[in-house]
Amino acid sequence: MAKEIENLWREVRELSLGTKIDRFDSQPSPVKFLRNYVSQSKPCIISKAITHWPALKLWSDPAYLTGALSDDVVSLHLTPNGCADAVTGDSDLCFASAHVEKVLFPEALKVVQSSCKGLKVGYLQQQNDCFRTEYSTVALDCDGDIEWATEAFGCSPEAVNLWIGTDDSVTSFHKDHYENLYAVVSGEKHFLLLPPTDVHRLYIEQYPAANYSYHRLEVEEPVRHVPWSSVDPYPSPEKEASERLKFPLFFDGPKPFHCTVKAGEVLYLPSMWFHHVSQTPGDGGYTIAVNYWYDMQFDIKYAYFNFLQSLSYKSSSLNPILSWGEDEDSESSDAEV
């Protein structure tokens, strides 16, 4: 089984994905987007997708945002380490969610900007359509949808989320059951991407859900388990050797696709792709992104994924039979749509 699964990882790269994320300058037609990316479950980056948004100029200035949103209450996610929705702990691992506070925007932004890892990290986000519910005051600074994507998917976005954070905040590997158009407005977002075919490489396990109450992590009662990836792609130097031993399918297999999405750019992240997200702040001292979730199709690709996930990766020997010898650079490339 190990051999067949590894062949799948290899073949999807050789036949379809290549080693770099396609990148092009102007927005694709809905037909080309569907044909070359959605149908094939293939990410791409569009460079000049949102150059007409007022937000691109306005939102780098904290004074503009705090003025415009002076009376708006928003969801502020607080953790000691910037790792919300992540597997946390030294021995008794759990799935830790942030402490969420409803705060007036100017105060919330101050907390984000003064984040200090190990003490208190603030991240303005809420994946419940927060851009349209909490930030409606500045809604007109962006488009309400990504027009060519709406035409391609045949529906309006199911949710639009806003993200304001610093390089202290990191989102751990996970997948979403949505088609995702991810627009960066200020700063840069760094993605590690793995296709759904690589599900075994993420070591998804069941972890008890826990919530931060300031610095204390409280496991939910009654216990609720959350399936989540065990892999931290950037372990600390002292942990690296042991992490590599624990997760060889991740560390010794094909490299994740790596891409940086800059202000003004949009990443198409297909449904069911695993992604890990970190960020570099822009001029305002923060990174801002708006992402559009469109309903996905639960089609043959999804059925194949569930089938693959239901199988155990079993090597015939004691060690996995990984035989990867890549040294390609997997930054994104230029491509024609």
**What residues line the site for its own copies (CB under 8 A)?**
1, 4-5, 7-8, 11-12, 15-17, 30-32, 34-35, 38-42, 151-154, 195-197, 297-304, 306-308, 310-311
- Measured from the CB atom, is 82 or 157 closer to its own copies? 157
> Do residues 115 and 166 make contact, with C-beta atoms less than 8 angstroms apart?
yes
Residue 85 or 179 with smaller CB distance to its own copies: 179
Is residue 317 exposed (0-12), middle (13-18) or buried (19+ Cβ within 10 Å)? exposed
Q: Name every residue whose Cβ is closer than 8 Å to that of residue 92 and which is 6 or more positions away in sequence.
A: none
Q: How far is the CB of 4 from its own copies (least distance, A)?
A: 5
CB of 305 to its own copies, least distance (A): 8
| Residue 31 or 223 with smaller CB distance to its own copies | 31
Q: How far is CA 21 from CA 13, 73, 178, in A?
A: 11, 37, 19
Q: Which is nearer to its own copies, 1 or 140 (CB)?
A: 1
* Residue 320 CB, nearest approach to its own copies (Å): 17
Asked whether the beta carbons of 258 and 191 are under 8 A apart, the reply is yes
Closest separation in Å from C-beta 296 to its own copies: 11
Distances (CA, A) of 330 to 122, 168, 255, 272: 31, 24, 8, 20
Query: Which helix (H) or strand (E) is 208 found in, with range?
Result: strand 204-213
Q: Which is nearer to its own copies, 34 or 94 (CB)?
A: 34
Toward its own copies, which CB reaches closer, 196 or 284? 196
Cβ 192 to its own copies, closest distance in Å?
18
Q: What residue ranges in 65-187 does DSSP mark as E strands?
A: 73-79, 86-88, 94-97, 99-104, 121-125, 159-165, 171-174, 178-186
First and final C-alpha spacing in the chain:
36
Rounded to the nearest whole angstrom, what is the least distance from the CB of residue 304 to its own copies in the complex? 4
Q: Kindly tell me which of 6 and 134 has the beta carbon lying closer to its own copies.
A: 6
CB of 210 to its own copies, least distance (A): 32
CA distance 266 to 185: 9
Residue 260: CB atoms within 10 A of its CB come to: 18
Q: What is the 8-class DSSP label of residue 41?
A: T
Residues 6 or more apart whose CB falls under 8 angstroms from that of 64 comprise 58
